[in-house]
Amino acid sequence: MSKRPRRNHSPAFKAKVALAAVMGENTLAELAQQFDVHPNQITTWRSQLLEGAAGCAIYCGRKASGSAASMSPR
């Protein structure tokens, strides 16, 4: 039995798979078969996407509230 060579997935591919997992239209097993990756990898990418999205929401919220304060009349 020969080993499969290690594959490097692009960030765009990871995001595509993670978004499909977040949408929840298919099971992890179905997504794993569709994208030819292990279900644990999909779970990891989904978690990273959700953590990044939460961080972005926090950062964007601070930035928006800071810019609103700077626009107020003095």
At a CB cut-off of 8 Å and minimum separation 6, what does 37 contact?
9, 17
pLDDT higher than 60, residue 69 = no
- pTM of the complete model: 0.70
Residues 8-65 have pLDDT tens digits of 999 999 999 999 999 999 999 999 999 999 999 999 999 999 988 877 777 776 665 5
Q: Which residue has the higher pLDDT, 30 or 4?
A: 30
- List the chain domain ranges: 12-64
pLDDT higher than 60, residue 68 = no
pLDDT at 64: 59
